[in-house]
Each structure stands twice: as structure tokens, then as C-alpha cells.
Amino acid sequence: MEKDNEVTPVEADQIKRIVEAAIFAADAPLDRDALLMLFDEADRPDKAVLGKLLEELVEDYAERGVELREVASGFRFQARKEVGPWVSRLWQEKAPRYSRAILETLALMAYRQPITRGEIEEIRGVAVSTHIIKTLLERGWARVVGHRDVPGRPAMYATTRQFLDYFDLKSLEDLPSLAEIKDLDKLNQELALDDRPPEAAPAQDGDDESASGQEDTGEGSAPPVQTGFDGLVEEEPDIDESDLMDMDKVDALLAEFDSQYRKKPASPKEAIEADGETSTAGAEKDDE
């Protein structure tokens, strides 16, 4: 018997409860396809009905301490930022703060991806330590998407879906514009860096940023859930300010670099698609 796309209020209410419970119980965001697969084919709602029910759930939690949020990987429940100062007391360990060198490198990967280590170094004006690249790769925020077709075939880096999920973004278009970010302290607040990084590997000899590339890891285990709290960001240890650049200088150098070396993409998403046609996927190589 052909299934009617229209569902009765009782059926819709039941589907809504099932979807709500599944998102709540899941240990990772659930996308629409995963939610539809919860139902037998005969009882499965169409995507339009599911979308409407998800919108209703978002409204249901509009005035609650938790919210239903869609990120790159799907839908998840998370605590609201305004209750962060209280919820954060569940974890006694000191929240980490990433160094400005790591933030600058991550920002360049996010806004100018795909980008090579050498291009990052040319824009920043200082060498990028192996530790910084390794930290971003191990954290799951960056990945190798190919190799530039130039001598040495340096690896090209781009951000990941995990990067979007962690920073509460649905897509790259949701990144704050560079015009809105005047310095890396504001960038830190925008991205709400509040989870614990992996154990840092010892910096290699000769890395120019071995001191500034280290992040404060504190003691104890990581909080089990990322909640995107601005209030969990702690003060950063003192570092050599002479080795750092504010975002105004970074933005100016980005424009100069783009005009001299390659055409500036219309968006980070288009940059990935354009380079995906000419780049070759492969294992990561150290492109010092």
C-alpha cells in the first residue's frame, strides 16, 4: 500500500518524540538521513515533514537552558552559552587556551583553504613549527586535502567537518568575516575555544615557534561534551609578542599574497572545490 506523505497530528507527535529522543541519546550529531533511517519504510516521513518537525523542536527549546542546534554533521542538543559559567563548574580542571601562533595558523587554514605550510609561513612572516601543524591534525581540525603541483609537492591543508562541529558552525559560510575580527582575542571569543587539546608533542629543534606553539593543557581529563562556552576560555600564558601579528596585518598580507601568487577564491568552499580538481589526495608529508 502506498504511503501517504501526510501524517496525522498523533503520528507527527510520535515522530517528533522519537527524533527528539534519538538526538538526545546519540553521542554525535545526527543528520536528516540518519534520522529518517530510524523508521521503517512504511512509517518513514518524507524530508519535508521531518524538516518541519525539526523546526518545531528548535522552537520548543527556544527558552530552555539547552538548544537544538544544526552543525555540519547534523543536529545535536547543547547547553546555551549564557549558562556556561555555571555548567562549566562541573569540570574542575583549568580550561586550556591555545597560543596565538596556533590560532593564526588555524585562521589562515579556515579562511584561505586549501593552503600550504609555506604559504602560511609567507603570510605570517615566521616559520610554522611542526608542532603547530601536528596539533591541528591530531585535534581533527585540519587535514591534508592534496599536494600543490609545484616543486616539492607541498601538502595542502583545509579544515574538517569536526572543526565546524566543534566551533558550532553549519558550514564555512558561517565563519565570522575578517572585517568583523580585529584581533585574535576577538577570534578566540568568536570560536569559543573551550575544550582540551591532545597531549602536545615536544617541539622539534629549529622550530622558530617552539615556545609560542605550545598550548596550556592543564591537568585532568577533558570535559565529555563540547558546549561552546565563551566563559571557559582562560588567560593565555605570556608569549613573545614580537613574534605575533594582529588580524589587520594578516588580512593585508593575505590580499597582497593573493594578488601576487594566485587568484583569490570567492569563498573557502569554492577554494576547496577548485583545488580538488587539480590536487592529488595522498598521505601527509612533512613539507618543511
With a pLDDT cut of 90, the percent of the chain lying above it is 31
> CB–CB of 71/192 below 8 Å?
no
Cα–Cα distance for residue pair 34/255, rounded to 1 Å: 41
9-79 and 100-276 have identical folds: yes
pLDDT of 61: 93
Instruction: Choose among 217, 255, 216: nearest CA to 236.
Output: 216
Given a cut of 70, whether residue 188 has pLDDT beyond it is no
| Residues 6+ positions from 69 with CB-CB distance below 8 Å | 75, 76, 77, 78, 168
Class of the 100-276 domain?
mainly alpha
DSSP string, 86-105: HHGGG--SPPPB--HHHHHH
Given a cut of 60, whether residue 152 has pLDDT beyond it is yes
Which amino acid belongs to residue 254?
L
Given a cut of 90, whether residue 280 has pLDDT beyond it is no
What is the CA 52 to chain-centroid distance, rounded?
Answer: 27
Residue 121 grid coordinates = 609561513
Q: What tens digit of pLDDT does each residue of 92-126 get?
A: 776 667 788 898 899 999 999 999 999 999 988 89
Q: Regarding predicted confidence, which is higher, 194 or 73?
A: 73
Residue holding cell 596550556? Answer: 216
Secondary structure of the chain: what % helix, strand, coil (to 5)?
A: 45, 10, 45
Cα–Cα distance for residue pair 188/185, rounded to 1 Å: 5
pLDDT of 115: 93
pLDDT band at 179 (very low <50, low <70, confident <90, very high): low
Domain range list for the chain: 9-79, 100-276
pLDDT of 170: 85
Cα–Cα distance for residue pair 73/165, rounded to 1 Å: 7
Strand partners, 144: 157
> CB–CB of 245/104 below 8 Å?
yes
The helix/strand/coil state of 75 is strand
Instruction: Choose among 23, 85, 25: nearest CA to 54.
Output: 23
What is the CA 35 to chain-centroid distance, rounded?
Answer: 23
Tell if the pTM clears 0.85, that is, is over it.
no
State in Å, rounded, how far the first CA of the chain is from the last one.
63
With a pLDDT cut of 70, the percent of the chain lying above it is 57
Instruction: Choose among 233, 271, 232, 242: nearest CA to 108.
Output: 271
Report the CATH architecture of 9-79: Orthogonal Bundle (1.10)
